[in-house]
Every structure is written in structure tokens, then in C-alpha cells.
Chain A
């Protein structure tokens, strides 16, 4: 079964970003994927709730794609969450609109994976730090999927940057094609690990 994917992209300085732009270049050009550039659409943060909710209803998989600023998302994505995921629609009494949809973060982070551990200087893992997003998904009865993460963006070589982006493209293709098992995804901490595993198997 095919899935429609909605990528909610938030980057306040996209024109200066190397990693995010590489990622976006690798998004497969298929009809199942809708790329939604929030900062371009809402530079003044006047998120149009009706349009956004309609978009959500039209898709099965939601991706929050953004740089990982201060252990969270850029402010417009938070604004989007605050406004669009409204009571009685997304959560609370009668709030079942998003029930059963899959959601995950696709993020770029400056620190290495090792820095995001009990021993590292960030002290928490990415999965732990994403808890507010995970809980948001839970409250909206959505299926929380592990994140896709690119680490060490400041030092990354252009080859690695390209390889990572290719992985992202593969993930999107698989998800769109419905070529995956949901319970299998839960056994990985990053989607990167999942796609690498199945690439090796194939």
C-alpha cells in the first residue's frame, strides 16, 4: 500500500544551510511526497490552521524536518504545533483527526552521535531530547517513529554529507512505497540504522 508523505520543513536561514539543502535535493520527486516549506510560507508566523489541518488529513506519514537548535526545533515549527494541533481536533475530546498516522523528526545536529550520550557533553541521547515531540505524537494518537539524524554537521565531509542524504532519499522511497514493517522500525534508535541494515541485507 502506498503512503502519502508530508514533509514539514522549518529552517530560518535555509539559504546558508549546506546539510539541509543537500537533504532536500535528495528528496525523491514522486507524487506521494509533499514538501512544505514553512518559513517561506509563513515568514510572519501567521500559520493558516485550516490549510495545515487539511494537508495533514491528506497524508499518512508526517515528517518534521529541521535543524536541531538548542535541543529543539526552530520557533516556527513550535508555532505550527501550537496552532495546528488543536484541542478537539488533534487531541482531547473528539480529537482523533491524526489517529494512526506516522510521525518522525528528520534533523541535522552539530554534535557527534557520541556527544549525545550519558558520557558526552550533551548528556542525553537524541531520542531522549526528542521526548516532547514523542509525547506530542502520543497525545495525538499518532505512531511515533525513531528520527532520522545527521550528526556532526560542522565537520562533515562533502562525501559523508552526500551519503547521508542518499540514505534519506532511500527511506522516503521505502516509506512511500509502504515497503516496511512498522514494528521493525521500533527496534532501531535512528532510521539511519534501519535503512543501513536493510541495504546490507538486500
Chain B
């Protein structure tokens, strides 16, 4: 089929399905998947009469995706999170693999087949989960970091698993015709393993000593498109090499990404490739949608739905237990377990590799791929069900805010702070020091509970939802501070507030100049580019709007910054005495708690009585 025509079909399906899916609150991933199913062979049949085209397309999406994942894998970040990555990751993978192995054995598989399938099914979808977590703005929360840790461990484990798979080859079943095309296909299993490691080493060293010096030369030409071309060249070269060696091109791209993550050009490459990233990710999900063999699913509904259910229950159970071991609170644990309960895109790679190695039959491969695709498809639904129905019942309650003793203050809460990160936190502390209590809206359940226990009025939930804004008192509130971290979510919040609560005066935090331009376009007047000084400035302006005198407020602001710097110096020193935390977010959190506790007794009082005669007056009247 003509490539332009294909692009037309893909893009049309995307542009129609994704916004609808987003609008219905299902997230973009499901939109892509549905788009894929619609244009796939079963429904419209626009794409996919030539089945191989689809797989090539989907495969290249995965290849690009993995390159980016590899690129984002910073060694220093890995080192910081080593406990959670190794601990949570290993527990999750080991137990899941064992349980799925037992499950597959009961279907009458041979142990080699069951082993290959269970390893493939222990993977979760990095693409879906990271995308979802980023869209929800949960990257810095405990569940976000736990998810990232587990996914990273799985991503890394793909390498040894791919190396081990050739060892599982059933000699009796081997069909030589299929793998003759690869260079190492005829070698015995142990040699195939060895050649694999050789290839990996080759990619590593040639990346470091060949490609990075090449990039230096390219950089000197000052042609940015040459940079993109070079990185694409690398990916394609690596993919081709891996194909020749009979290995997964996706794995090669991942390795290439990791190699480049160490280079000084990492950020430049990342920003060059960023525009491609979203599209290719979408393409990948469309590929998944297309690859669901709906005919097969319909012809074997019991086996497939049974497998989907069993696999997801096992994965969910193991994840939940892992979360418990690492003491995740129920809210975070539910989110974490639901988010990772699907079988991931690596499963496609591992399954098709197993097929190439003739470990699995074509029929089983089709069934298992369908299972994988279905679990990926239901994930957004599961998350939606969790967010709307399960979590509100079990976890931190959305609408009951704080202790009853604080209910009396609630009428005075004219100010809502949406997003209690570094920025919102500082605004809140400064307002509180000046006697203004604000209502806080945050989506991190642990933080909400902490703040409530400290007497803050806090609502838990997604601030972009009008019903939650309403329950936080948006009808009566006069001011709203929009300080949610990902600018996209912040902008979404602002447009929701302007639409449903036009009476509210919005003071918005901007991430940077470009974010500020966006806010200007949205008609926001009060824009503050982060962080410490502007958050205090925002709070100062708010106090002036509430009727405080400018000059006094400005002096209080200066004083508060001084106080904050002192607190920081103090905490910075003894921070190291605190126990090590497995999850980085938990450490951040405990520091945040300490900061707030220190502030409980800080009030912006005016020690300079010279300028008001109260004191003199009192002394004189006593005489």
C-alpha cells in the first residue's frame, strides 16, 4: 500500500479517536488502541491485509520507544533508586514468573514453553504506565516512583532473558527453515547465547568510542537536523545488526539509548527526538490495536478471557503484595498495582522471539499476543474504575476534609491552592504565617493524610475535575492558586476553573517563559515563574488583594525568605542523619513534613514596634 495513504489512515484514526478518548477521561493510550482496532483487519480492514507491514510498523515504534527509554535512563538516577529497583523489581518478577509458570503448566505446556511465556508475562507496559503516570502528574509521588522502579527492572531484565531464550529451544521441535535467515540460527544454544553477549558488548563499545566521537564532529557542523539524522542512523544501524544476528532490534535500540545516556549529547538528542516520540508512541499503540486478532479472540473466547483474567489477577496480587512489603499506603498501592497489572510490550518482543526460536507454536503465539494486547487495552479502564469507584471507597476519602474542629474555619477559606509541590507548599506556608488559611487540593493521598493530621484543610483528588473543585469550595472561593507541576495539567485546571467558576481570580505558577506565554494566551493576568521568590511574591500579591498593606507584606516576604533559607541550611545539614529511604519520594516527603512542622510555630509577627505606637501608648498609659 502507498505509504502516504497509510500515513493518511493512521493519522486520521489518531486525530479522531484520541481526542474522543481523552474527552471521555480514558487517556490517550486507549484512544490509540481503539484507533488501531478500528483500522485493523477485523473492523474496517484499512490496514493490515499485508500483515507484515503492520508488524514492521509496530516494531519500529517499539524500537524508537526503547531508544528513548534507554536515553532517559540516567546512571546516577538509577543509583539513587537502586534499592527500590532491585528490591521491588526482583520480588515482582520472580513471584509473577513462578505463578504464571504454574498456570501455563496446567494448560499442558512443556516446561520450556511455560518458562518462556511466564518470563514474557512478568513484564508490564513501560509505555502505557509511564505515559499514564505522566499525564496524571504522578511522576514524583510514591506510586509513580515505585512504578518506575519496577518497570526499569523489567526493562533491564529483558537483556538477560533474550540471552537465555535460545537455551530453551526444544531440539525436537526445531524448524530450521524459519531461522536460517539469521547468522547464528544454526549454532547450538550456548553459542547463540555467547554471540548475543558479544553483540551487546560490540554495541556498547562502538557506541562509546565510535558514535560519540562522530557526534562531536556532527555537533561542530551546527546543523541540528544532522543530529537527528545521526541518531536515526544509529538506531537503524543497530536494528539491522541485531536482525542479522537474529536478535531483537528493539533491544539493540534500548542499548544504544543507554550508551548515549552517558554522553554529553544526551539532552540535545532527547530534545531533537522529542517531537517524534509522541507520534511513534502513538504508532506503537495503534500497532498493538491492529495486532489484536479479534477473529481468534472470538473463536476461542473461553481460553483467552480465562487467561486474561488469570494473568491479571496474578499480576495484581503480586504487585499489591510487593507494595505492602515496601509499605505503600493503600491509595498508592492500589494505583501502583492496577497500573502495572497488564502484560507489556516487551512481551510482544519476547513472544515473537520465542516463536522464531520455535519454542512456541504459531497458534499459541497468536493467543498469547491477543492476551497481551487485551490486558493492555483494559488497563486504562481498570485505572478509571479504580480512580472513580474503588479508591474513593477504600483510600483517603475525597470529600471529608480534615478534623471537625476545623470545620468552623471552613467558611473563611477564600483561597484554594491546587497542587502542593514546592511552589504551592511555599505559598501555603507564607499565607499561613500571615494568618490566611487556604484550602489545599492535592492528588497525593499520603501527603493529604499528613496535611490533614497537621490541621490543614485538604481535599484529595484530581483538581481538574469540576466536581472535586466544587467540593473544595470553589463556589465560594475568591482566589485560586494554580500550582500543579506538569504545565499541561495546570493549564487544564485553569481552563476548567475559568469555565465552571468564572468568578474566581486565578494566580498561576508558570514553569518557564514559554509556559507563561501559554498562560497569557489563556488570558491569565497574574503569572509567576517559579520558584522560591516568585511563590512568595504570589502570596504577597494575594495578601494585598485580601486587603493587607503592600509595604508590610513585602517586609514579611523578605523575612519569610530569610527564615526559609535558615531552615534550609539547618535541615540540609542534618538531613543525612535521617534513615535512608528506599523510595526517593518518601525522603522528600519526610523532609516536607519536617519543614511544615517547623513552620507551625512561625508567625510573621512584626518586631518593629517603632512604627506603630501601640507599645509606647501602653507604657505611657500605665504610668
Contact = CB atoms under 8 A, between A and B. Distances in A.
Given A110-B616, A155-B621, A43 B611 contact: no
Nearest to A38: B551
Counting chain B CB atoms within 10 Å of each CB, the highest count among A12, A14, A44, A155 belongs to A12
Contacts of B552: 12-13, 15
A16 interface: yes
Given A154-B620, A155-B621, A16 B550 contact: no
Contacts of A154: 613, 616-617, 620-621
Query: 4 tightest A-B contacts by CB?
Result: A16-B612, A13-B611, A43-B550, A43-B551
Given A39-B551, A43-B554, A154-B613, A13 B606 contact: yes
Contact of B549 (A40, A74, A153, A155): A40
Given A154-B620, A155-B620, A16 B551 contact: no
Chain A contact-residue range equals 10 to 19
Interface string A1-15: 000000000001111
A108 to B, nearest CB: 9
A18 B617 CA distance: 11
A76 to B, nearest CB: 8
A14 B549 contact: yes
Contacts of A12: 551-552, 611
Interface string B532-559: 0000000000000000111111100000
A17 interface: yes
Contacts of A18: 613
B554 A44 contact: yes
Interface string B128-148: 000000000000000000000
A169 B421 CA distance: 51
Interface of A: 12-18, 39-41, 43-44, 69, 74, 110, 153-155
Contacts of B411: none
A24 to B, nearest CB: 13
B607 interface: no
A16 B611 contact: yes
Interface string B600-620: 000000101011111011001
Given A16-B611, A43-B550, 4 more contacts: A13-B612, A14-B549, A43-B554, A154-B617
A40 B606 contact: no
B550 A39 contact: yes
Nearest to B557: A43
Interface of B: 548-554, 606, 608, 610-614, 616-617, 620-621
Contacts of A13: 549, 552, 606, 608, 611-612
B544 to A, nearest CB: 8
A74 B610 CA distance: 11
Contacts of A16: 611-614
A140 B550 CA distance: 31
Contacts of B617: 154-155
Given A13-B606, A154-B617, A155-B620, A39 B549 contact: yes
A74 B608 CA distance: 14
A15 B620 contact: no
A14 B612 CA distance: 8
Contacts of A15: 548-549, 552
Nearest to A156: B617
Contacts of B608: 13
Given A13-B606, A154-B616, A155-B621, A40 B550 contact: yes
Counting chain A CB atoms within 10 Å of each CB, the highest count among B606, B613, B614, B621 belongs to B613
Name the prevailing secondary structure of the B interface residues: helix
A39 B550 CA distance: 7
Contacts of B606: 13
A74 B550 CA distance: 16
9 contacts: A12-B611, A14-B549, A16-B612, A18-B613, A39-B550, A39-B551, A74-B611, A110-B616, A155-B617
Name the prevailing secondary structure of the A interface residues: loop
Counting chain B CB atoms within 10 Å of each CB, the highest count among A16, A74, A153 belongs to A16
A88 B550 CA distance: 33
A160 to B, nearest CB: 14
A130 B621 CA distance: 28
A41 B610 CA distance: 22
A146 to B, nearest CB: 24
Contacts of B550: 39-41, 43
Nearest to B554: A43
Contacts of A14: 549
A108 B327 CA distance: 65
Contact of A17 (B612, B616, B620): B612
A74 B551 CA distance: 13
Contact of A153 (B554, B613, B621): B613
A104 B291 CA distance: 88
Contacts of A110: 613, 616
A133 B542 CA distance: 37
Contacts of A44: 554
Contacts of A41: 550
B551 A40 contact: yes
A153 B616 CA distance: 10
Contacts of B551: 12, 39-40, 43
Contacts of B610: 69
B174 to A, nearest CB: 81
A39 B620 CA distance: 28
Nearest to B614: A16
Contacts of B621: 154-155
A52 to B, nearest CB: 17
B286 to A, nearest CB: 56
A155 B554 CA distance: 30
Nearest to A40: B550
A141 B611 CA distance: 33
B509 to A, nearest CB: 22
Contacts of B620: 154-155
A15 to B, nearest CB: 5
Nearest to B608: A13
Contacts of B613: 16-18, 110, 153-154
Counting chain A CB atoms within 10 Å of each CB, the highest count among B608, B611, B614, B616 belongs to B611
Counting chain B CB atoms within 10 Å of each CB, the highest count among A41, A153, A154 belongs to A154
A13 B610 CA distance: 10
A29 to B, nearest CB: 20
Nearest to B550: A43
A44 to B, nearest CB: 7
Contacts of A153: 613
B8 to A, nearest CB: 58
B617 to A, nearest CB: 4
A12 B550 CA distance: 9
Nearest to A153: B613
A114 B550 CA distance: 36
Counting chain A CB atoms within 10 Å of each CB, the highest count among B549, B610, B617, B621 belongs to B549
A67 to B, nearest CB: 8
A154 B610 CA distance: 13
A42 to B, nearest CB: 8
Contacts of A69: 610-611
A71 B610 CA distance: 14
B496 to A, nearest CB: 34
